[in-house]
Amino acid sequence: MRGTLVIYRRELAGLFLAPLGWVLLFLALFANGLFVYLLLDATRGDVGTVLRSALGGGTLFWALLVFLPPLLAMRMMAEESRTGTLEYLLTAPVSDGAVVVGKWLAATTFLGLLWGAVPVYGVLFQLQGASPDWGAVLASWLGAVLASGLFMSLGLLAATLSATPLLAAFLAFVACLGWLLLPTFGGQLLTAATGLLQGTSLAEVALPFLRSSLEGMDVLRHFHYSWRIGVLDTAEVAFFLSWPVLFLFITVRLLEARRWRG
Amino acid sequence: MIDVQNLTRRYGRHVAVDGVSFQVAQGEVVGLLGPNGAGKTTTMRILAGYLPATSAEVLEVAGHDVLRASLEVRKRIGYLPEAVPLYRELRVEEMLRFHGRLHGMDGARLRSRMGEVLERVGLTDRARQLVGNLSRGLRQRVGLAVALLPGPEVLILDEPTSGLDPLQRREVRDLVRELGAEHTVLVSSHILAEVEAMCPRVLVLTGGRLVADGSREELEARLGGRGAVRVEAVVGPDPEAARALMASLPGVERVELGERLGIHYTFRVHGEGDLREDVGALAATQGWALRELSFQSRSLEELFAHLVAGGDAQELEAAGAASPSGAAPAAEVQPDPAGASLTLELPQAPASSAGAPSERASAAPSPAPQPATGKRVIYSLNPFDRGAQRDLGAPVEVEDAPAPAIDEAGLTPPRPDAGEEPA
């Protein structure tokens, strides 16, 4: 626990001490700010819609969630593995789990700070006389942080597969994108398959089961039916926390396997 | 402090470390020596708990099993990998603070300890600098400071002198030697001189196998490279005869004839202990004009080359008898069995050694005729000889002096049997 905290602080500081953190922060905030500005114009000042769209409702949010974690994961895993600091961390008197969890918490905090810009917009709207739905805004922010954690853990897992930074980032990107889009495309595939296999037992038992499984994994769906409408559902918290637990566990095992291979 | 039995590590099919066993006692400074790719880094990574061993009967560092109690081991060691991994974006003091916190140090204890290690590696005035802005040598020192910070029982330093300039190397060497007073140190290098300077005990790894373990003296003794007496003298026209004469001395195992330097010939006399006085006494009786008589211990460099070139433990066992590689024509004479008559059989130049004579012939173009030689008795050549295992009081017979060193042509008439059947 102590080790996790020490690593967390170091990693968070490391993100802000290196240019990458600032570049990502600048680009993401710029894009997000522009998005909010344009949307505010387009909706003729519908503050609630604008804030919800900036936190989980719009394409930009998910695009950032697919792009940013791979880059952060690349920096935290592949680059450290290349410069040897990962060897340093893994021979320090902290467990591998503490190292991975510390890194994950730091990256998630970084993304949380990034999404923190949206509530700040809300405050500005408030000062201008509008009245945002604060429950929905804060719940959305919490959901955004949790979703960031999920993608971050997936990114770390994928980035651990390669010690080459660029390849690690690419793998993490593919993993995040796949995770985001698989349920949608999978659902369409299943619909097509159901049409083809009409009447067979496969279509009646297996396919619906697959469909419900895919829907259960669907991040977008989970996000839209809870956080976005301002509902704080413990089942949703569990959903957004249990995946990271699994992914981080696998990441630790992968790190270990890497050492076995040498 | 470090106990390794039968450690093996494979990377797929490649065996990086093959059945290595050694122990390091508390307070020892041990050098891990070997060419690149010999398995030094792998061994150290395993000891530091970074790589798991493929198999090992015992693998303990600082009293804990590396695999089962990895964290306990990590708390007690300071490990400095070859690449000196440091966070370049941190300041020196921040790096140290981070490392201290990982080791559960805090507050005043951490501060005072940071001051101590910075002082020790001479970086007190660089504490505020960014690690990334430091030169390679200074970064190496930061790495050492980091490894030293928690006051580890065991220090594992992988190539701590690589990439440094000669002055920095010396600083690091001195530092490592000093550290031996407080820590058990395992340090690796592929450079002999480094290890020789830092470590009283050397482990030689090659091809993943431990081929030698011991102090420099032990290694030398095991390899039969106990050193030799170098003789440079005017010995007359036939150096071969002089060589045989020297080889006949008690305690001498073999004598190599070296190159000719003007009228002087050089010899290397191998045998037990320091044979300078014996050779000196012989020279006196023979009237050789000595120019040099010195004892030269065999350098670790030679031993290392020998070990690594052989690369085999069996080779090592046999190494004592084998002659070291030498460019000079080295005709060998096996010493007579103990107690045998010391009457000389002067070797026939063409018959006894096939390869060497052509060179020797050119060195001594006119093989002078052998003068009449008679046996002489020399008493107790060297009463203070430490290494000799013979009865020092017993008389020793040697051949009488051959022709005078500077042979005036024609003074000694050639004898018909000369060179054919002396004595």
pLDDT tens sequence across A41-62: 888 878 888 888 888 878 889 9
Domain that holds residue B381: 224-399
Contact A6 B86 (CB under 8 A): no
Instruction: Read off the pLDDT band of B344 (50, 70, 90).
Output: very low
Write the CATH number for B65.
Answer: 3.40.50.300
* Predicted confidence (pLDDT) at residue B371 exceeds the cutoff of 90: no
The reply to whether B170 and B113 lie within a common domain is: yes
Give the residue-averaged pLDDT of B18-22: 90
Provide, as residue numbers in chain A, all residues whose Cβ is less than 8 Å from the Cβ of B102. Answer: 3, 6-7, 92-94
Per the structure, the count of domains in chain A is 1
B200-220 residue pLDDT tens? 888 888 888 888 888 877 776
CB B241 within 8 Å of CB B370: yes
Task: Confirm or reject contact between B98 and chain A (CB < 8 A).
Answer: yes
Give the residue-averaged pLDDT of B58-71: 88
Which of B257, B252, B264 shows the shortest CA–CA distance to B327?
B257
Residue B417, domain member (yes or no): no
CA distance B369 to B137: 65
Exposed (0-12), middle (13-18) or buried (19+): which is B231, by Cβ within 10 Å? buried
Q: What is the mean pLDDT of chain B?
A: 74
CA distance B415 to B418: 5
Q: Which two tokens stand for residue A93?
A: 């008197």
Last residue of a domain, one of B168, B186, B221: B221
CA distance B373 to B403: 9
The reply to whether B282 and B383 lie within a common domain is: yes
Last residue of a domain, one of B193, B221, B249: B221
Min Cα distance B165 → chain A (Å) is 22
Residues ≥6 apart with Cβ < 8 Å to B42: A262, B9, B16, B17, B51, B208
Give the residue-averaged pLDDT of A238-250: 92
Task: Say which range, A133-137, B190-194, B349-353, has the weakest mean pLDDT.
Answer: B349-353
Most confident of A82-91, A196-205, B92-101, B154-163: B92-101
Which of A14, A144, A4, A12 shows the shortest CA–CA distance to A79?
A14
Residue B342, domain member (yes or no): yes
The reply to whether B119 and B234 lie within a common domain is: no
The reply to whether B177 and B233 lie within a common domain is: no
Contact A92 B102 (CB under 8 A): yes
- pLDDT of B420 reads 45
* Predicted confidence (pLDDT) at residue B388 exceeds the cutoff of 60: no
Provide, as residue numbers in chain B, all residues whose Cβ is less than 8 Å from the Cβ of A90. Answer: 50
- pLDDT of B322 reads 36
Contact A10 B81 (CB under 8 A): no
Task: Confirm or reject contact between B318 and chain A (CB < 8 A).
Answer: no
Q: Which two tokens stand for residue A81?
A: 């593995």
- pLDDT of A68 reads 93
The reply to whether B217 and B294 lie within a common domain is: no
- pLDDT of B354 reads 40
- pLDDT of B171 reads 85
Q: Which residue of A6, A86, A260 is in closest CB contact with B101?
A: A6
Instruction: Read off the pLDDT band of B187 (50, 70, 90).
Output: very high
Min Cα distance A224 → chain B (Å) is 40
What percentage of chain B has pLDDT greater than the value 90? 16
Give the dihedral sign, CA A153/A158/A159/A165: negative
Task: Confirm or reject contact between B90 and chain A (CB < 8 A).
Answer: yes
The more confidently predicted of residues B299 and B187 is B187
Domain that holds residue A13: 2-261
Give the residue-averaged pLDDT of B9-26: 88
- pLDDT of B220 reads 67
Give the residue-averaged pLDDT of B99-115: 91
Is the ipTM of this structure higher than 0.95?
no
The reply to whether B166 and B255 lie within a common domain is: no
Instruction: Read off the pLDDT band of B49 (50, 70, 90).
Output: confident
Per the structure, the count of domains in chain B is 2
Contact B50 A260 (CB under 8 A): no
Residue B408, domain member (yes or no): no
